[in-house]
Amino acid sequence: MGPVAYYACQVAKEVLEQSGLPQEFITSGKMGVAFGSIHGSPTVQRDIYKIFFEAKDKADYQNIGAVDYLKSMVHTTAVNITKMFGITGRVIASGTACTTASQSIGYGYEAVKYGLQDAMLCGGADEYDTITVAVFDNLLACSTAFNDQPQRTPRPFDKLRDGLVVGEGGGAVMLEDYEFAKKRGANIIAEVIGFACNNNGGDMILPNLAGITQTLKLGVENAKINPREVDLVSAHATATKMGDIIEAQAIGAVFGDNPYVIGLKSYIGHTMAACGAIETIMTLYMMEDGFIAPTINLQEIDERCAMIKHAQKVLSQPVKTAAIQNFAFGGVNTILLIRKLA
């Protein structure tokens, strides 16, 4: 395994232990995996490229390890999880950049909802690498104004925001059929009630208001709820100049100023393929403990993002229904809707 697969297997191990599912069920074929990363292990990939570009003769190519491809392939996270824990159900290995984990949870939800699997282990992981930073830096999307005060950035929705901060990590959740989970006495934290994913059909990088707005509407329709029922929106909120404005406008158009909106990347940076899972987990903690965490570094709200209700301090408030939003290069948009069981 490369680092990204280690992260994936570690969070998978933790969620399997927490679930209490017996080993005979895990290996029965009734449980699958929906898990992904942006590009496998870039650390391993770079080592392979280095050998290729610096090779003096054929003998140098022998320095490429026999399993290096297995470490760097896009589905390395999903299949290493299946190998380590003996999971024999279906495998979904999403690789859609920043929507990878939220797609994984959404597709896992659909697999369970439509009776294709009794349970799905879902999530995403990514390792930190300068290649990822370089991509965003070349697009002028990385924060640079606070290099001497890194604790002040990223700054979602703030007037002084100047870009994202690349992070790393992994996150996983276990989705089960409700009746199956109830019958076995599982600790049910919350319920996925809706999911939507669509594409802008246009620019590969720039956010699209119409496309994002449509995704949010489709998610609400899939959940069969009134938008006013949503108490909390975990925004994608990367702290890029245009991205935050477009997202705020879309949230305002669909949810109005009813739900509190938070940008959890202000705490952890942009964990790339992992962000949808990690931000879902953070939202579940708030839902479970009855509070809303503020967007940190949000000191002066950009007037172009002021049409929504921002949380700027810790709020002791129950969260019944929440939306988790993520958007990715290529124009891919996702929304997950989760609800606390009564």
- The neighbour count for residue 64, using CB atoms within 10 Å, is 13
- Statement to judge: residues 330 and 204 lie in one domain: yes
Does residue 342 carry a pLDDT above 80?
A: no
The residue from 110, 128, 146 where one domain ends is: 128
Q: Can you tell me the distance from the alpha carbon of 64 to that of 127, in angstroms, rounded to the nearest whole number?
A: 21
Q: How many domains does the chain have?
A: 2
State residue 117's pLDDT score: 98
Residue 181 within any structural domain of the chain: no
Dihedral sign, Cα of residue 95, residue 97, residue 103, residue 104: positive
- Statement to judge: residues 200 and 115 lie in one domain: no
| Residue 251: domain span | 191-339
What pLDDT, in 10s, does the model give residues 124-173?
999 999 888 999 999 999 999 999 999 999 999 999 999 999 999 999 99
Q: What is the CATH number of the domain that holds 91?
A: 3.40.47.10
The per-residue DSSP string of 46-86 comes to HHHHHHHHH--SGGGGGGS-TTHHHHHSTTHHHHHHHHHHT
What pLDDT, in 10s, does the model give residues 289-332?
999 999 999 999 999 999 999 999 999 999 999 999 999 999 99
Its pTM stands at: 0.96
State residue 52's pLDDT score: 86
- Statement to judge: residues 14 and 115 lie in one domain: yes
* Stretch 42-61: mean pLDDT: 89
